[in-house]
Amino acid sequence: MTGTPKYGRAFVFGDNIDTDILAPGSLMKLSPEALATHCLEAIDPSFAGAVRSGDLLVAGTNFGLGSSREQAAVSLKILGIKAVLATSFARIFWRNAINLGLPALVFPQAREIASGDQLALDTASGRIENLTRSRSYEIQPLPDHLLQMIADGGLIAHLQRRFQGTAA
Amino acid sequence: MDLSSPVLAMTLVEKVIARAAGREAVRPGEIVTAKVDFAFAHDSSGPRRWRPYLEQLGVGIWDPSKVALVSDHYVPAVDAESAAILSDARAFAREYGVGAFFDMIGICHLVLPEHGLIRPGDFIAGGDSHTPMAGAFGTYAAGYGATDMAAIVATGETWLSVPQTVRVEWSGAFQVGVVAKDIMLFLCRELGLDNAFAAIEYGGAAVDAMSMPERMVLANMAAELGFETGVVAPDQITFDYLAARGHPVDDEAVAMALESDPACTYRAVHHFDATTLVPQIARPHAPDNVIAADVLSDVVIDQAYIGACVGAKLSDLRMAAEVLQGRKVAPSVRLLIAPASSATTEQAAREGILTTLLEAGAILLPSGCGACAGMGAGLLAAGEVCISSTNRNFRGRMGHKDARVYLGSPYSVAAAAVAGRIVDPRPMLAQPGIAT
């Protein structure tokens, strides 16, 4: 299966980016939009201001460890991040992202990407091109049922289709 | 079924998933749909996130008798926003006929077992990352985000890839002053935090001898290790806990049979000796940054915090009282104690533990997730140092991003509160304070 590639700049972070860095607990009463402006602030105060719609987040191991708070993935989505590519993911964050229609893909060679590199990602086939460094990678695509969920616009939209299908 | 056959031999986790998926057997890596036996959430992750989704889908809760809500994050309300979140939770529980709603009586992970709602063998979905705490009762209990949970309460099912199981055996017996929390901090260092899409099972003589509250610590902090669930096989201690709360298991033999089959396949088996374990401390800013307590005596503290699902059960308050009996909190330190449930506070009062804690200078806070979740009383300023009986010390979790949080057992937290710095609690336990 192939789709339309996503093109964007890479924002690169290291290992063990936790949910308190992505969505600080003490700010959880803020609106999602306001909370998103604090995303990753503890380690990179410029991130929320610099990121643009279409950019891709690249990180090391155990991305999203910690809380089940979905605001961690919501904040990245609000800021315009189109996919997260990491060496490995914490389970709840990984499910949350995909449920919201934000592809989260295991990318073993994530360390070869530098901040600012221009990437092209085909989520369906698992092909990543680093246009800045003229390198390409084939990674394990998501299972078909999750690709379908993302194509439907996330878990709730996917369920809505299923319920309507049942009713019809 | 021939349980000695490697074809059908399964781990405890695989048995629970197989039954929930309506299958005779499952194997790691298989993607299955499981029917959920019990689902729960709290005021932060539940109603305020579920309601718009359920309205969009035009459905109610699939089976309200299998769903519980617990208000524990924004309690008690400290401003109009938190009051509105709680008000919405109460209205939701009424409108959707939620089977069990526990309002402001403690933290979900403790309140649910206190009410006999965690049943051995169940497949449990919880809207909180510390849901694995229920695995102490031999359940598959995993945490989910709000969208996953909304789908679960709408349909009663969820998908999963069957996890591999890692077994950890603790032989021997603990030294005085060393407890389950020290095991978990030690394991964070040994196994790391990156264990997603696998389960952990605890066993061995030291685990067999543990009370349910101590087993809950093992299961709870499976979350810190990154495992999706952490389990202990049910035994007489499990059955006695449930029977004492008026909810005995239906069939003890069925619950006993949940134990992993001898011919099952583990991803790995690790052996450790409880006898040689010493008190452990996690340094800022991660639970795996762990070292023995006795080498941190140059760490001067501002605050000591006993709270959270993992660290403020009755057993934890008893530990603190053992240290604080006849002693005083150092003048430079504030010791805050937020019991994990109202039942905990009530029993601590009956046993005289509250008096001991208050006479030592402790400050009592309401039951709830409190400062551990970055929401309640007891947050930290920039540059402040705290030792805490909670389970996470990520940067910014308990207040300012430049606060420093150390994690330890309730013994270690109470001893540090007295000394004004981090110490090994064993010398204080060996030489009790003079009763006043």
Q: pLDDT (tens digit, 9 = 90+) per residue, B336-364?
A: 999 999 999 999 999 999 999 999 999 99
Q: Kindly state whether residues B296 and B402 are assigned to the same domain.
A: yes
Residue B7 lies in a domain: no
Mutate to test the interface with B, among A21, A22, A26, A62 (most CBs of B within 10 A): A26
Q: Is B388 a member of any domain?
A: yes
What does pLDDT average to over chain A?
94
The answer to whether position B94 is within a domain reads: yes
In a domain, B83, yes or no: yes
Checking if the pLDDT of B69 tops 50, the result is: yes
Q: Are residues B263 and B294 in the same domain?
A: no
Any domain includes B124: yes
* Pair B384, B320 in one domain: yes
In a domain, residue B435? The reply is: no
pLDDT digits (tens, 9 = 90+) for B311-324: 999 999 999 999 99
Tell whether B299 and B263 lie within a shared domain.
Answer: no
CB within 8 Å: B151 and A18 = no
Q: Does B86 touch chain A (CB under 8 A)?
A: no
**CA-based nearest distance A163→chain B, Å:** 8
Closest-CA distance, B128 to chain A, in angstroms, reads: 5
Same domain, B220 and B86: yes
pLDDT tens, B371-398?
A: 998 888 999 999 999 999 999 999 999 9
Judge if B192 and B321 occupy the same domain. no
Which CATH number do you get for residue B129? 3.30.499.10
> Each residue of B398-429: pLDDT tens digit?
999 999 999 999 999 999 999 999 999 999 99
Q: What is the pLDDT of residues A1-12, one digit of tens each?
A: 557 888 999 999
Mean pLDDT of A27-40: 93
Q: SS3 for chain B, per residue? A: CCCCCCCCCCCHHHHHHHHHCCCCCCCCCCEEEEECCEEEEECCCCHHHHHHHHHHHCCCCCCHHHEEEEECCCCCCCCHHHHHHHHHHHHHHHHCCCCEEEECCECHHHHHHHCCCCCCCCEEEECCCCHHHHHHHCCEEEECCHHHHHHHHHHCEEEEECCEEEEEEEECCCCCCCCHHHHHHHHHHHHCCCCCCEEEEEECHHHHCCCHHHHHHHHHCHHHHCCCEEEECCCHHHHHHHHHCCCCCCCHHHHHCCCCCCCCCCCEEEEEEHHHCCCEEECCECCCCEEEHHHCCCCECCEEEECHHHHCCHHHHHHHHHHHCCCCCCCCCEEEECCCEHHHHHHHHHCCHHHHHHHCCCEECCCCCHHHHCCCCCCECCCCEEEECCCCCECCCCECCCCEEEECCHHHHHHHHHHCECCCCHHHHHCCCCCC
B434 pLDDT more than 80? no
Percent of chain B scored above 70 by pLDDT?
A: 98
Domain count, chain B: 2
Q: Average pLDDT of chain B?
A: 96
pLDDT over 90 at B2, yes or no: no
Q: What domains does chain A contain, in order, with CATH numbers? A: 6-141 (3.20.19.10)
Same domain, B190 and B313: no
What number is the average pLDDT over the span B152-171?
98
At A156, the pLDDT band (50, 70, 90 cuts) reads very high
Q: Are residues B268 and B310 in the same domain?
A: no
In percent, the amount of chain A with pLDDT more than 70 equals 96
Residue B202 belongs to domain spanning: 12-249+259-273
Give yes or no: residues B301 and B401 share one domain: yes
Segment B211-215 shows an average pLDDT of: 98
pLDDT digits (tens, 9 = 90+) for A75-93: 999 999 999 999 999 999 9
- A94 — contact with chain B (CB < 8 Å)? yes
Query: What's the pLDDT at A168?
Result: 42
Higher pLDDT, B5 or B299: B299
